[in-house]
Structure 1
Amino acid sequence: MLMPQITVDYSADLADGFDRPGFAKALHEATVEIAAAKPPACKTRFRRTEDVVVGPETGGHAHVHVHIALLPGRTEETKARLTEATLELLRTHLKAAEGRVLHASAEVRELDASYRKFES
């Protein structure tokens, strides 16, 4: 069974313009369609970051990065498709903060063989 663990790190100044529930729902749907995940297995957590430094500058930038971790077995093409879909969903669910340069990125990787879980 595919176990997507999704983490979204985002700059605090993006909070008001980021439809996080809508993004998570759409990303779960894309993960089911593209990577054959089971809908109840999709889990997304959002981590708000207060400080972002890009290059030598301490201001004027906002950042969002989406980490998607899947159990092994997906092709590189499937992972690339999911990454591209993730970036497209960010474009539709996120408005950059006024006067900020938005740096958006995503990656799909495989969970380590040591991954285990339980439900209770």
Structure 2
Amino acid sequence: MLTVWYNTRCPVCDAGIARQKRRLIEAVKSGRIEFRDINLEPAALAGYGASLEDIRRRLHATDADGRLLVGADVAIAVWQATPGEGWLAALFGNPVLLPLTRFAYDRFADLLYAWNRRKGRW
């Protein structure tokens, strides 16, 4: 199972995950993927060394093997599971584009995190 941890207090994050949940309804029902609000379980990933602020800044997930995924790697894993979005995972997760994908995701996440902090969404 892929368990995705995200920040429901961020309107952009919450809307993005809501969209994915709608697209992944069968996977959610069958238990192949789960979306969890880190604000309800702030220490959930402490064993991986991930703080509440780390997860508010970037998506985090654990995969079926218990590995921690962060940022763009979470987006790629979700795209792989989403019908019709496998091409996004193949494109942005290929070895040539992956470093650029991670860089772009991280910069966007930094801007979004700063915006949420300024708006007091904590």
Larger RCO (CA under 8 A, 6+ residues apart): 1
Q: Normalising by structure 1, what TM-score?
A: 0.32
Structure number with the higher helix fraction is 2
* Higher-Rg member (1/2): 1
Structure number with the higher strand fraction is 1
